[in-house]
């Protein structure tokens, strides 16, 4: 029995030692996890357009305001711009001071219809999905007065095609009757 007690005692000591050693190994790892880099607080506050009522073919400037609310500088920021979820361009290598703002612009040739303009930030080529911001814009077919003139011209051409043959026929018939 003495031998069994000794084995149980050795087993208990071994178990306690293994548990203590495991606890010691995980403590520095847990502490290292708690000492992660500070949370980056960066976002796009708004998207604006150089012309809020563009016509088809107009070149408009899309501007995005980036805000860095962090208490430290953030470097190597990129911003990608999208029209209807297709990328139209990006700006890279943006460096921002702590608690700073920056405006980034891109030009776009407007196409008629309703569009969703979006922008999203990346740091070191890693997209920050929670920074995506969107704004809708409607692009008209073109200058309204030009459209009205074009419609009037089309109406005159159609009217001419429909009426001129009839007038010519009457003139011809009138000349035929006079000749008799």
* pLDDT recorded at residue 20: 61
Task: Pull the structure tokens for residue 67.
Answer: 């805000």
Q: Are strands 74-83 and 86-96 parallel, antiparallel or unpaired?
A: antiparallel
Report the C-alpha gap between 62 and 135 in whole angstroms.
Answer: 10
Once rounded to an integer, what is the mean pLDDT over residues 111-138? Answer: 93
Say whether pLDDT at 49 is over 90. Answer: yes
* pLDDT recorded at residue 35: 52
Report the C-alpha gap between 119 and 11 in whole angstroms.
Answer: 62
* Strand boundaries in 15-125, DSSP class E: 42-49, 59-68, 74-83, 86-96, 101-109, 113-123
Residue with more model confidence, 65 or 21: 65
Q: What residues does each domain of the chain span?
A: 1-36, 42-139, 143-174
Question: pLDDT by residue (tens digit) across 57-71?
Answer: 999 999 999 999 999
Q: Tell me phi and psi for residue 120, to 5 degrees.
A: -145, 145
Residue 163, SS3? helix
* pLDDT recorded at residue 55: 93
Task: Pull the structure tokens for residue 106.
Answer: 């891109």
For residue 100, what is the DSSP state?
A: -
Q: What is the CA radius of gyration of the chain?
A: 37
Of the pLDDT bands very low, low, confident and very high (cuts 50, 70, 90), residue 178 is: low
Task: Pull the structure tokens for residue 48.
Answer: 């604006």
Question: pLDDT by residue (tens digit) across 71-113?
Answer: 999 999 999 999 999 999 999 999 999 999 999 999 999 999 9
Residue with more model confidence, 2 or 163: 163
Task: Pull the structure tokens for residue 7.
Answer: 């084995």
2.60.40.10, 2.30.30.100, 3.40.50.300, 3.40.630.30: CATH of 42-139: 2.60.40.10
Place of tokens 């506050």: 45
Of the pLDDT bands very low, low, confident and very high (cuts 50, 70, 90), residue 156 is: confident
Beta-bridge partners for 68: 42
Report the C-alpha gap between 138 and 24 in whole angstroms.
Answer: 63
For the whole model, what pTM was predicted?
Answer: 0.61
Mean pLDDT, the chain, rounded, equals 83
Residue with more model confidence, 22 or 84: 84
């Amino acid at each position: 029995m003495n031998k069994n007690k000794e084995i149980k005692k050795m087993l208990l000591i071994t178990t306690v030692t293994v548990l203590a050693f495991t606890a010691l190994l995980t403590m520095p790892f847990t502490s290292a996890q708690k000492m992660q880099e500070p949370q980056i607080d960066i976002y796009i506050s708004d998207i604006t357009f150089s012309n809020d009522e563009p016509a088809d073919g107009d070149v408009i400037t899309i501007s995005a305001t980036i805000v860095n609310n962090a208490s430290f500088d953030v470097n190597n920021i990129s911003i990608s711009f999208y029209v209807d979820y297709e990328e139209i361009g990006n700006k890279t290598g943006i460096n921002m001071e702590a608690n700073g703002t920056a405006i980034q612009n891109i030009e776009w040739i407007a196409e008629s219809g309703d569009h969703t303009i979006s922008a999203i930030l990346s740091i070191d080529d890693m997209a920050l999905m929670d920074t995506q911001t969107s704004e809708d814009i409607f692009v008209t077919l073109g200058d309204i007065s030009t459209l009205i003139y074009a419609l009037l011209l089309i109406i005159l051409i159609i009217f001419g095609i429909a009426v001129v043959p009839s007038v010519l026929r009457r003139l011809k018939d009138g000349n035929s009757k006079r000749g008799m």
